[in-house]
Structures are given as C-alpha cells and as structure tokens.
Structure 1
C-alpha cells in the first residue's frame, strides 16, 4: 500500500470544543491519524505491527484510529480507555466503519492491561494522551490534564517497557525533558510529523494559559501568543534504526537542540 493513499477522511472541522460531551479538534485528529498511518507503513520493517498488532492508550471515540485501521490492511489495534462513555462511543464508531474484526476497545486501565499476559505479547503502543499542563486537574475538562508539565502519561508510558511508541508530543508540555527520559531508556526518534495548531478553549482557559506562559518562560517548552506545535513521533528501541532524530524533533517544536 502506498502510504500517500490515505483513507483518513474525517468529518469537516467542527472547531476545538466539546461535541456531545467529547473533546473535538478535527485538525489535530486528522494530523494524528495520518501520522500514525504514515509512520506505521513507512517503518513496517522496524515496528512488528503486522505480526503483533498494536495497543492503544486512550481510545476516546476511536474516530481517528478506526479510519487508519480501515486504510491499512493487516493492522489490528487493541484499545483501552477508562471512560465507559468513550468505550461505548468507540465501539459505535468501529462498527460504523466495519472494522470490528481488527479493532477492539475495552474498558479499563491501560497500564494494568500492559502488565497482563496479553499486554506482554505486544511491543508497540500508539497514544495521543491528555497533555494540558496545569497546577492541578481542576480545569474546564479534567480529562485533558497531563500533570504539572503536561507529560505525565507520556513519561509513564516510556517507563512501561514497550519497544515502540507512536506518541503525540506538544511543544508546551516539556518535550525536551520527555525526550531526555526517552534517551535514558534507550529510545531513539526514528521520525516524526509536526503541525502547528491554534490554542483551543482549554489551553486558552486563564488558569491554563498562565501556567503555559510560566512553563515556557522557564524553558520547559514553547508556545506562541496563541499557538503551539504538536509532533507525532515514533520512539523506538530497535537496533535497526541507525539515526536518532531527537535534535530535529526539538527544532520542529521550536526548542533549542
């Protein structure tokens, strides 16, 4: 399959807000979906998704990844989400696209699943985890809180022991610290796709915006007056990858390398 022949055709942009109780940013979802599809297909000799499938941390409504599964023959995904409402919506999305045989979502704690016998059979995880940085989770949509620096879940995922991670890394959530930990754990950045985004309702919330401004002033990330950058990166411990693109990734996120 030519990775340029993408079937990631999401509904028209609906803005950056809540739709039927779900956070919605069509531009970010499309970027995430296309990036996952491209990186998986381009690095199919490095990432064993064709034989093992992949795991997903936080499936949400499954709209983005269900389109990827439909577009990539042979791709199977096992998703986990802690929200019963999200799991119900995800299953509806998956059924609507006719990919139930290759994409399932269960209710539960991803990290508990990762420590199970089933979790030990998979070496690849995809994730667009919550990454809003704030002093605490008392924000407009607590489900989007990523901790003080915004990278709590990514750091936890790095330490979970998987060999290949396809993750979204925003410029204002201390990506340099995240990549430093990744390097200490033996990961290299095989490649990435970066995209500029405007602040949405949740990053514009005064409490959050002030915290982002403080973090970036202290050197823990980058943000413009009303914008930031998100990159979807393939972090891998495969010895087949001879070049680490961490420096290029940091520059793409507007940070000094």
Structure 2
C-alpha cells in the first residue's frame, strides 16, 4: 500500500463550517474515515464486505470514504444521499480520487433503496448520520438535525434489517439508548474508535447547546463545557463475535455503567 493512501490524509483541519453550502469539519471526517478503515480491515473475518461490498447512508461530499476506498483495494461502496447537490459533489470527489469503479453514489432515500426489490442487498452499512439533538429542525443547518435525542437515524438503521453497522455515535445523543435498542435487535459491539471533539458552530447554537445540557442532565448523554466524544463503532449480529464491548464503549463516551 502506498503510504500516502491512508484515510487520515484529508484536507487540513478547520473549524466546522459551511463551504459552498456543504458542512465541513475535517477533523471529524478524518476520525470517521480512519475508524471505518480500521474496523473494516480488522474485522474482515466477521463482516463480509469483501464479498458483498457495503452500503452507505448519506455520502455527503464523499471526501472521507473516497480516501478509504482508495486505501482498501477490495472495498466497494454504494452510497445514497437525499441531497442532489451532495450527490453531484460526491461524484466529482470520487472521480478526482480515482475510485469511480468501486464507489458509486445515487440520489434518493437510503431506506427506500434498502427496501426496494431491485436494490442490491448487502449486509453492511456505514454511516456518519446527522446527530445534533434539538427540539425541532429549525437550526442554523437543518440537515444536521438528528431528532429530539439526536439518534433518530441510528435507530432507524438498527431496525432496517442489516447485520453489520459501522456508525458514528456521539456522547451527547443518547448513546446508551441507542445501544439498548441495538441489543434488542441482536447487535453487539465488536469494537470502536473514540475521539474527543470541541463543540463547533452548530453545537454552540444556543438552542442546541441548551437542549444538550437538558439531555445530559437527564442522563441521556455526556458533554463537557465545550467538548464531547464521538466513537466510530462496529455493531454486528455475527454469531462469531466472541466479546461484546458495549460497556467499554459507554465508558469511552463518558457514560456511567
């Protein structure tokens, strides 16, 4: 492998912001990309991504995962994004990185695609879904709203019939509730990669910050004065998994267990 082909070689880190109408947080993107690359390759014996490929919920501009596909020659990704402008941007990114033969993105609703008879069925999904918790979606950037607890899309994924999920779980979006539903659906935590992040422009929006404070006071998550933790976790229903690391994941997210 060319040492330059690593998931963490993304554009220089910057504060989260909107660039040309797109959300940009290079630090979080690099963490997500590296977590996906590490967990897929480490657990290739449990997750059949080499044979089936993987599906992706919400490709965005595709910068992070395009670099993962480039770094992992056996990886094939079929992405779906509900935003037409994001799909156009993603396709430009994929062409630029040179992985269009193994990474495709289509415009549409991921769950409709997953339920369609014509959709190619795979058992593995990767996702860094919108996870800002707030009372409603009238935010500085509505596309980042994840529902009241911030985990609406994560819960939908858990119930969508897939067997392996590689998903980003933030500490302030009711991770214990998410993992409880995961256990009910037969998932266990194979492993994870956690990283501390500072609040950005959208987390600091007063409406969002006050809601996060309310949720954490209720025991629905954790956040510091201006920080939180995001873990990229592999949840699987594989019967071959020998150890469930759900407790360790909650500890890494600063939740009591």
**Length-normalised TM-score, structure 2:** 0.97
Q: What residue in structure 2 maps to residue 117 of structure 1?
A: 117
Q: What residue in structure 1 maps to residue 180 of structure 2?
A: 180
Q: What residue in structure 2 maps to residue 10 of structure 1?
A: 10
Q: Deviations over 1:66-108 (max 9, x none)?
A: 0000000110000000000000000000000010000000000
Q: Deviations over 1:177-210 (max 9, x none)?
A: 0000000110000000000000000000000000
Q: Partners of 1:8 and 1:256 in 2: how far apart?
A: 31
Whether the 8 Å contact between 1:3 and 1:37 is mirrored in structure 2 is no
Whether the 8 Å contact between 2:171 and 2:222 is mirrored in structure 1 is yes
Distance 1:3 1:232, change over 3 A: farther
Q: Partners of 1:250 and 1:51 in 2: how far apart?
A: 31
Q: What residue in structure 2 maps to residue 232 of structure 1?
A: 232
Structure 1 residue ranges (4+ consecutive) displaced by more than 6 angstroms after TM superposition: 1-5
Q: What residue in structure 2 maps to residue 34 of structure 1?
A: 34
Q: Partners of 1:234 and 1:119 in 2: how far apart?
A: 23
Q: Partners of 1:7 and 1:230 in 2: how far apart?
A: 17
Q: Partners of 1:8 and 1:214 in 2: how far apart?
A: 34
Segment of structure 1 superposing worse, 40-49 or 116-125: 116-125
**Length-normalised TM-score, structure 1:** 0.97
Which sections of structure 2, spanning at least 5 residues, go unmatched? none
1:44 CA displacement: 0.4
Q: Secondary structure at the match of 1:134?
A: coil
Q: What residue in structure 1 maps to residue 82 of structure 2?
A: 82
Whether the 8 Å contact between 1:3 and 1:38 is mirrored in structure 2 is no
Q: What residue in structure 1 maps to residue 64 of structure 2?
A: 64
Which sections of structure 1, spanning at least 5 residues, go unmatched? none
Q: Secondary structure at the match of 1:214?
A: helix
Pairing of 1:44-193 with structure 2 (within 5 A): 44-119=44-119, 121-193=121-193
1:6 CA displacement: 2.6
Aligned residues: 257
Q: What residue in structure 1 maps to residue 21 of structure 2?
A: 21
Whether the 8 Å contact between 1:221 and 1:255 is mirrored in structure 2 is yes
Cα RMSD of the aligned pairs, angstroms, is 1.5
1:118 CA displacement: 4.9
